Structure 1
Amino acid sequence: MITTDDISAAHSRIAGHVRRTPTLSLDADTFGLGLPLSMKLEFLQVTGTFKARGAFNTLLAGPMPKAGVCAASGGNHGIAVAYAAAKLGIPAKIYVPEISSPAKIARIRETGAELVVGGARYSDALAACEAHAAETGALSVHAYDAWPTIAGQGTVGLEWEQDAGGLDTVLVAVGGGGLISGISRWFEKRVKVVGVEPEGSRALQAALEAGHPVDVEVNSIAADSLGARNVFARVHETAALYVDQVVLAPDDAIREAQKRLWLGLRAAAEPGGAAALAALISGAYRPAPGERVGVLACGANVDLASLAAVI
């Protein structure tokens, strides 16, 4: 398992390649919740999500094969790997499933990476990516089940603690679980870390209940970013030790969170990026009186037409 020193090293390694995103102290009326919040604006990251951190950490951590890199993704991880590879002059091939949003597919194409769209779900894209890596020797950059990825995502927690000390709890959206694994490993129980999954995509909650990773069915508005069927071993190992709680947010609350992020901050968030706030809107997580709560807004790669329908 990674250490906090690994996360600190990742933060130094990726400096100059990613943004140190801002943290805002928001008053109790910002989202109509009657609760002041610390919000880490990771949707302002260079690729629109936190995924750039893990991608750059992986690509900078060791020598690259001549065949370059490949990645399977619902969209955001693919954007990040393609972007990092382009900046570092590394060939990249990205596999995405058919459910990926047109906005995310367009962003991958803009990087110049080779793009393959096929299969109904992320698991289909992952199988195709792993076959390509085995055939060519390309480095397969996993979206979450890899220590360099998890360490890179953990730099979100490092910055959050430096910029907004004194938090009691942070709410973090969960897809495959790399983000919450890195953040929870950084905080080491100094702060309560609560994972937020869509009701229709609960791979981490199911794994923690079972005591090991298990496959789940996926059906959610946020499936293109929070649609992992299985969190796999590294995420389960870390979350079992350091994640305090996982709650489920319904799709209607996620849509409402997108709306309130727009009205309160003029932030165009994708469904997965709004999921953590949705836990407060729906009551899936109810803070205690006086509890100092942080919310991670983690993704903005949204199709604007679909956002317009929500707001």
Structure 2
Amino acid sequence: MPTNTHHLTYEDIEAAGDRLTGHVRPVTLAPTEPDVWLALEFLQHTGSFKARGALNFLQAHLDAGTLPDAGVTIASGGNAGLACAWAARRQGVRATVFLPVTAPAVKVARLRGYGADVRLVGDEYAEAAAACEEFAATTGALASHAYDHPLIAAGAGTLLEEIHRQVPDLDTVVVAVGGGGLFTGVATAARQHGIRTVAVEPEHSRAFNAALAAGHPVDVPVDSVAADALGARRATPLALHAAGRGDVHSVLVPDTDITRARQELWDAHRLAVEHAGATAPAALLAGEADSTAYGYRPGEGEKVCVVLCGANTDPTTLGAPAS
């Protein structure tokens, strides 16, 4: 297992690939125009890429004999919590998930459907997170995290390996960034294959972009339509280290482009994704403007794969297709 919590290696991703083979859904690539593919990772178990990291995290501990009888615990009502509960059920492991009492009933029901012991504590996420920490300390349960762990990031990196096998001459992968788990894994694997990574964030939820500018993780305000999944206030040292070792471009997109990309994915391709899942493709929309900070404009003949990372959304907000 990885021992340095601030670094991720390609060997960590290879090990994750061995653990996950046959247990996660291989990503489907859909060509949308010449030299552009969409990676349909929202078709993954639980509706997001998070299943990869959660399963790798648990399997690594099971293999090492370091999974306690108290099982695993996490504070998350989002995609990470769902993935943790799913992976735990698959491996026959107890999962205790902490949420604020304000969590949507549909999320609570879904977590319980995966067999998780759901604990509702406090009015805010911070209170649920504190209760999760106390639970781990008193019971010995293994504390998981939504993105800040090398095993989580390594699992996410297996996505790029699958993409590269299907498009071995790929030039660029475009991926959304929240806290940085998906980016860290993808960028680490991409560097191995000489592939550029374009890291995309909402303009008002830019923890990674701000960390790059400062040279270290910094707290940022969060205000975006995609904040439910890309709302980290601080990027991880893991992400910064990965950014410093490969061909990485950090770009921003306005919420209007995220919303437009989400609608266009539905109108043109019948793909229903959450706003976070539309953030990466929004970079190509924003890239149509003459700006170096906003969006990404591929060069002539540049082969690009855009990751659609999650689909846990309300499809009724998409409306009818354009006629």
In the superposition, the TM-score normalised over structure 1's length comes to 0.90
Given that 1:195 and 1:243 are in contact with CA atoms closer than 8 Å, whether structure 2 keeps it comes out as no
Whole-Å Cα distance in 1 between the matches of residues 106 and 247 of structure 2? Answer: 32
Note the C-alpha offset of 1:71: 1.2
1:68 aligns with 2:71: yes
- Mapping for residues 178-193 of structure 1, pairs under 5 Å: 178-188=181-191, 190-193=194-197
- Mapping for residues 182-261 of structure 1, pairs under 5 Å: 182-188=185-191, 190-242=194-246, 244-261=248-265
Note the C-alpha offset of 1:98: 7.1
User: Which runs of no fewer than 5 residues in structure 2 stay unpaired?
Assistant: 1-6, 288-294
Given that 1:175 and 1:227 are in contact with CA atoms closer than 8 Å, whether structure 2 keeps it comes out as yes
**Paired residue for 1:109?**
112
When the two structures are aligned, how many residues end up with a matched partner? Answer: 304
1:174 aligns with 2:177: yes
Given that 2:8 and 2:238 are in contact with CA atoms closer than 8 Å, whether structure 1 keeps it comes out as no
Note the C-alpha offset of 1:308: 3.8
User: Which runs of no fewer than 5 residues in structure 1 stay unpaired?
Assistant: 29-35
Percent of aligned pairs with the same amino acid: 47
Note the C-alpha offset of 1:295: 0.3
**Paired residue for 1:8?**
14
Which range is displaced more, 115-124 or 206-215?
115-124
Larger Rg belongs to: 2
Q: Give the match's secondary structure for 1:242.
A: coil
Whole-Å Cα distance in 1 between the matches of residues 169 and 84 of structure 2? Answer: 33
Whole-Å Cα distance in 2 between the matches of residues 4 and 22 of structure 1? Answer: 22
Given that 1:74 and 1:225 are in contact with CA atoms closer than 8 Å, whether structure 2 keeps it comes out as no
Note the C-alpha offset of 1:105: 4.1
Whole-Å Cα distance in 2 between the matches of residues 54 and 266 of structure 1? Answer: 27
Given that 2:169 and 2:303 are in contact with CA atoms closer than 8 Å, whether structure 1 keeps it comes out as yes
CA 78–213 in structure 1, closer or farther in 2 if over 3 Å, else same: same
Given that 1:69 and 1:138 are in contact with CA atoms closer than 8 Å, whether structure 2 keeps it comes out as yes
Q: Give the match's secondary structure for 1:61.
A: helix
- Mapping for residues 44-193 of structure 1, pairs under 5 Å: 44-62=43-61, 63=65, 64-96=67-99, 103-117=106-120, 123-188=126-191, 190-193=194-197
1:289 aligns with 2:300: yes
Given that 2:77 and 2:108 are in contact with CA atoms closer than 8 Å, whether structure 1 keeps it comes out as no
Note the C-alpha offset of 1:16: 2.2
Residues 43-89 of structure 1 deviation map (CA, whole Å, 9 limit, x = unaligned): 11011111000000010002311111011225001000000101111
Note the C-alpha offset of 1:118: 5.2
1:26 aligns with 2:32: yes
CA 117–222 in structure 1, closer or farther in 2 if over 3 Å, else same: farther
Note the C-alpha offset of 1:123: 4.8
